[in-house]
Structure 1
């Protein structure tokens, strides 16, 4: 498709339109102007129609001939190309509109995770920007087919709802990026965690006791729909984790992907992501200790997800994390 035709269809003004006005203002024809800048009339006509882009060399020639600075011509060319690309991408995205329907729309609507989620132009671009991918195909390769193993390491193809699971996991990455923390040495972190286990046990014991007291008083907090929830005990756990070089994150899961927790090393920092509204506080702490067990016992290259089956799941490591969690739940005097 020719650029001048694109400009007519989409209403975009190519930089050549400004040049055409200037040539008319100068009172000369294309042949005369071409001779002044050292180009053929054919080349000038192609610039006027948007078929030939304005390079730095051409911009300098136009500067001398018209008195309009180089920066104007280069910015006009850049703006024209950006607008063309934006609209081309928009057209391509329209063909992928059905992709959006696979995501848990009804549960995402109340949340503020995806900026401009319900824009009127298209419902796909906001999702692509949320995931940081260029196309639905790129999302599929990264999350579903696991082609980028170095980056993601697991496949969600075998989960019941890979779309919902990927949203929850990506939400964790975004939350992790918001917390500034230096990269961690895995051996030092594991050593620090082992020394701090009595603190985790004491925190768990006190938190469950406080939770049960609120339950008796019928004063348990009620998380609002669509809002991230962090109570006092969850905040204290986050603070203790940060002191040891661990990011502890909370994000509401989805009905079709009821993930309880996840452990991973993200950008060389251990991250534990938990569902933010467990009805059973014992289950909350068991899940935390389970994910902490993965950080302590297992390598940096794996991602572990609790309560959802996924490709490449290592049952032996999962059993080891369960045993780790049971040990410290018992030390805290909590039910497993």
Structure 2
């Protein structure tokens, strides 16, 4: 039967029949009932043919899109993610694309920049990778999603700042990390620690994950205790000083700290003042020579571990970065695998 004859029998235009034959138009339930009357085969048969055709076409389109996204997957540190256990081990680029879609929770890797725009905010990325940073941020989201914390309480958080600062005196304690996370959780702050990923230069990030819950995500790229505490107070500065609408990402891409915006500078100042009050710090610089003994004494006076003072002195150029590092313990907080 010709297409023209079939069109007459179905009451459709020849153009519509031609589009159905070429797969450009679907077989609708009404058309299936008409075909049942014309050919004597059930409408269910025709609808099944249509469903099978659409499924096959979708699979072919999916394969094409996967091939298109392989170039994106190659920019993501897949091996590092697999070692952490957040994606399955895979060799085929196509398998990596499928696994990364699931990891990011997107239908296409082309949408990663849409769901994690903060990772793509900077343009000066000669060595840093936006997709690697997006991967790091996504791990934080997944970890935070498994955490239970109280509703955010700004007053309680401000009251706990001295206690959080004082935990530096217990740096050798084995339960320090859990105590710190519990303290933050009690006022609505989810504190997560995420291992460093290649081609990321991130220190920390802050994101409101609900109207009454905020996530602070810290990198373990530089595990010195003073750096971790400074980064923590930097992110707490974002929580207490800045709005809820954007994600704040603290990166160190070059030694000159180029490109840091107002929010990052304000958070830096907040952290510096909270950890080593400016007035006391200036008195220390004016009254004493900088020795290991004077640093320890000053740290006792202001109630922090000596590493906090050494870190400040090194940052300000008062001490070489090679000096007094024996007073700067490292924290072995980086897990080999993550439970997500």
Alignment of 1:86-125 (within 5 A): 86-115=59-88, 117-119=90-92, 121-125=94-98
For 1:46 and 1:124, how far apart are their aligned partners in 2? 33
How far residue 284 of structure 1 moved from its aligned partner, in angstroms, is: 2.4
Match among 248, 262, 265 for residue 316 of structure 1: 265
State the secondary structure of the residue aligned to 1:285: helix
Alpha carbons of structure 1 residues 103 and 56: separation in structure 2 relative to 1, 3 Å: same
Alignment of 1:202-281 (within 5 A): 202-206=166-170, 208-210=171-173, 232-268=175-211, 269-276=213-220, 279-281=223-225
How far residue 38 of structure 1 moved from its aligned partner, in angstroms, is: 5.5
Match among 170, 177, 181 for residue 145 of structure 2: 177
Where does residue 56 of structure 1 map in the other structure? 29
Question: Contact (CA 8 Å) 2:185, 2:191: kept in 1 or not?
Answer: yes
Q: Cα deviation per residue 1:26-50 (whole Å; 9 max; x = unaligned)?
A: xx99999878765578866765664
TM-score if structure 1 supplies the norm length? 0.64
Alpha carbons of structure 1 residues 317 and 238: separation in structure 2 relative to 1, 3 Å: same
For 1:175 and 1:55, how far apart are their aligned partners in 2? 45
Q: Cα deviation per residue 1:47-82 (whole Å; 9 max; x = unaligned)?
A: 566454122323444567757465x65465345324
Where does residue 338 of structure 2 map in the other structure? none
Q: Cα deviation per residue 1:223-278 (whole Å; 9 max; x = unaligned)?
A: xxxxxxxxx43233223322211111121112421423222223433110012475
Unaligned runs of 5+ in 2: 278-298, 309-340
Alpha carbons of structure 1 residues 250 and 37: separation in structure 2 relative to 1, 3 Å: same
State the secondary structure of the residue aligned to 2:182: helix
Where does residue 229 of structure 1 map in the other structure? none
Question: Contact (CA 8 Å) 1:293, 1:325: kept in 2 or not?
Answer: no
State the secondary structure of the residue aligned to 2:240: helix
Alpha carbons of structure 1 residues 306 and 120: separation in structure 2 relative to 1, 3 Å: closer
For 1:239 and 1:73, how far apart are their aligned partners in 2? 61
How far residue 169 of structure 1 moved from its aligned partner, in angstroms, is: 1.1
Q: Count residues with an aligned counterpart.
A: 276
Unaligned runs of 5+ in 1: 1-27, 147-151, 212-231
TM-score if structure 2 supplies the norm length? 0.64
Question: Contact (CA 8 Å) 1:153, 1:302: kept in 2 or not?
Answer: no
Question: Contact (CA 8 Å) 2:148, 2:185: kept in 1 or not?
Answer: no
For 2:24 and 2:238, how far apart are their aligned partners in 1? 58
> Is 1:156 the counterpart of 2:89 in the alignment?
no
How far residue 193 of structure 1 moved from its aligned partner, in angstroms, is: 0.4
How far residue 91 of structure 1 moved from its aligned partner, in angstroms, is: 1.5
How far residue 84 of structure 1 moved from its aligned partner, in angstroms, is: 1.2
Where does residue 280 of structure 2 map in the other structure? none
How far residue 158 of structure 1 moved from its aligned partner, in angstroms, is: 2.4
Q: Cα deviation per residue 1:115-163 (whole Å; 9 max; x = unaligned)?
A: 56544635334334433445455445666xx5xxxxx496032244123
State the secondary structure of the residue aligned to 2:74: helix
Alpha carbons of structure 1 residues 86 and 76: separation in structure 2 relative to 1, 3 Å: same
Q: Cα deviation per residue 1:254-309 (whole Å; 9 max; x = unaligned)?
A: 24214232222234331100124754234323322221222122222343333424
